[in-house]
Chain A
Amino acid sequence: MKTILIFDNYDSFTYNLTDLIMKSRPDYNVIVKRNRDIDILKIDYDVLVISPGPMTWKDTGILKELFEEKNIPKEIPTLGICLGMQFIAGYYGIKVDKIEKPVHGSQVEIEHLNDPFFKDIPNQFKSVRYNSLGIIDKTDQFKNIDFIAFEKNSGSVMALKHKNLPFVGLQYHPESFLSEYGDRTLNNFFKIYVEN
């Protein structure tokens, strides 16, 4: 049985994500651990999901250590939501900072660029944002990372993926009750990166 580790950054939406994942993959073993719990280092996991959370991508406990020790060398599929996406961006040198117009709890229109990750999801869909920080310059695209979805109105980056490694990040919250296609998004992630 494959194990999914949900890396909880002391967030209040982690278990919404957990439920979405358990619903999508009932046969997987799901473990939730908080970001400074050193027991995490002893877990053998096949998938890492990085939760949203307060503060900046650097305030994520032992995540950097874990990422360097396991996810990169073992090429472990990783999905980062909100702060989790900001971690992937920040780690690969993309600037994450205060954005002009924070959104907390409102639906926005998201447009994607037909990456396979968004298979069977309309080019424009609605999802909820909860963030004050984000990627501030969408031309700030480093050689390792592709931006694959944007907010329709502001143009800000809403999704990214690593070019060679199985790392995907979403700035919006697919687990919110006001977000569309959360289940398909999760299903695509597992099909492309975990069950290929």
Chain B
Amino acid sequence: MWKIKPEISKKKLSWNFDLFFHAADKFDGTFLFTNDTENNSGKNILGVNPVVVINENNVQYGNRSKKISAPHLIDEILSTNNTDLNYPIFLGYLGYDFKDKLEEKGLYAGLEHGNLPQIYFVIYEYYIITENFKKDDFNIVKLNFEFEHTRFDIEKVFNLKINEDTGGSSKYIGSSLTRNEFRAGVEKIKKYVEQGDIYQANLTREITGTTDIKPVGLAQRLSQSNPIEFGVFSKVNDHYIISTTPERFFRVKDNVITASPVKGTIERSIDTVIDEQNLQILLNSDKDKAELAMIVDLLRNDMHKICSVNSVFVKDFPMVKKLNNVYHLYSEIEGVLSEISYNKIFRALFPCGSISGCPKVRSCQIIEELEGIGRGAYTGSFGYINFNTNSDFNILIRTLFYRNGYISFNVGGGITLLSDPEMEYRETIHKANNIYNAINMEEIWEERYCLTGK
């Protein structure tokens, strides 16, 4: 396996978010960002100039390629290059549809979606890392490879001139499930719950459209719309992934793995009395606590597969996450890994229970039946892995996909026995509205009539 030599330097820069979006766009990069000051995950990472690109069955390195198995290759590269350096070697993701490859053959239907890779991990030539965009807080990591590849002049990034967002608007094409289909899906899930198949499943629908806003413009608009702890702007071939997710899936630090499932949300208020009342309503909601307990038990289960006996603990239950606009209930589960293998971690944990359902396998089968199409990268997981094997992975919700003027995103929710089909459908419109507004989507009769009452 190749030896990769990192060189680290510091640089003073007067940079902001926008420059990182532009640099990722222009130099085939990925930008992982956080703009949530209250729950800061602590890192903004830009990778530019992909040198090693790992897909499911092959790896491209420099001008060459060979057949491999992606999760195994990640472990091989990590073990060859394991140092105590706490800077990234890989940025990348697993798409939801990759679940089929991680499970027993024949369990899932093999649904696919578009041509975004199902798994994609990249080693970039350069990483620029900053915690807070202060002038003297930019670390530059240059990776040196032992094989030939296209070299990149990092000065191009430092001298980048950016064009202002020139505006534009977006048009609606349609939804993968109509209102009636979505409501029927909710009813069907409730039937499955009643007859003992599952306790809960997440049902989503995909909304497609066109836009004349450029990808960077979309990222800028979406990143202003919400507090984002685990944001992504990534150029993958001619696709763009733009995620504004507030949710972590798991992180690995030394040999400890931590998962942080989120369930239950309530609006905040500028009136401090109402704000406190809302918080108490959330803390006393038996429904939200039960749903969170279910996901905590599911994640404990998945972590037990790869952790030492008697090492998995729930840190606190439930905890409150305070964002600018909402409160969430969440919990943290910690375990000691018996070995650090990303192949094993992915197989044990993926896909996350909070976006599939419980029990997971049966829920994923029901989701296939009711959604009818693959989810692509949506509800997959994007993150980084460092040289010292530490990592942090999000859950790809609130995520927009862009390619050549076409856009798509999914909206959905967790369905339980208590769900009302019409309310669940409206909730998806409510969630979609945040995105419509951000990307200047025209009025859509199908999506808005029940909010305006027309």
Contacts and interface: CB of A to CB of B under 8 A. Distances in A.
Given A103-B290, A177-B293, 19 more contacts: A12-B297, A12-B298, A12-B359, A13-B301, A14-B301, A15-B300, A16-B300, A16-B301, A16-B304, A18-B304, A23-B310, A56-B195, A102-B417, A104-B193, A105-B291, A105-B293, A132-B196, A177-B297, A177-B314
For chain A, which range describes its interface: under 10, 10 to 19, 20 to 34, or 35 or more residues?
Answer: 20 to 34
7 contacts: A56-B195, A103-B290, A105-B291, A128-B297, A130-B294, A132-B194, A132-B196
Given A12-B301, A16-B297, A130-B294, A98 B195 contact: yes
Contact of A106 (B286, B298, B301, B361): B286
Given A13-B301, A130-B294, A132-B193, A104 B359 contact: no
A53 B361 CA distance: 10
Contacts of B304: 15-16, 18-19
Interface string B166-209: 00000000000000000000000000011111111000000000
What is the predominant secondary structure among interface residues of chain B facing chain A? helix
A145 B60 CA distance: 63
B68 interface: no
A157 to B, nearest CB: 16
A10 interface: yes
Contacts of B293: 105-106, 128, 176-178
Nearest to B416: A104
Interface of A: 10-16, 18-19, 22-23, 26, 34, 52-56, 98, 102-106, 128, 130-133, 173, 175-178
A18 to B, nearest CB: 6
Contacts of A132: 193-196, 199, 417
B332 to A, nearest CB: 12
A52 B314 CA distance: 21
For chain B, which range describes its interface: under 10, 10 to 19, 20 to 34, or 35 or more residues?
Answer: 35 or more
List the 6 closest pairs (A to B, CB-CB), nearest first.
A105-B290, A15-B304, A54-B362, A104-B199, A105-B294, A12-B359
Given A104-B200, A104-B290, A19 B359 contact: no
B312 interface: yes
Interface of B: 104, 193-200, 286, 289-294, 296-298, 300-302, 304-305, 309-310, 312, 314, 317, 353, 358-362, 416-417
A54 B194 CA distance: 11
B199 A130 contact: yes
Nearest to A173: B297
A23 B197 CA distance: 29
A55 B310 CA distance: 29
Contact of B194 (A19, A53, A98): A98
Contact of A105 (B197, B297, B314, B360): B297
A178 B417 CA distance: 21
A15 B349 CA distance: 12
B219 to A, nearest CB: 35
A130 B315 CA distance: 22
Nearest to A34: B104
A34 B416 CA distance: 26
Nearest to A18: B304
Contacts of B359: 10-13, 52-54
B194 A102 contact: yes
Contacts of B360: 12
Nearest to A107: B293
A109 to B, nearest CB: 15
A125 to B, nearest CB: 17
Nearest to A176: B297
B19 to A, nearest CB: 43
A173 B293 CA distance: 12
A59 to B, nearest CB: 9
Contacts of A106: 286, 289-290, 293
Nearest to B353: A12
B327 to A, nearest CB: 20
A131 B301 contact: no
Contacts of A22: 309-310
Contact of B196 (A12, A16, A103, A133): A133
A54 B293 CA distance: 18
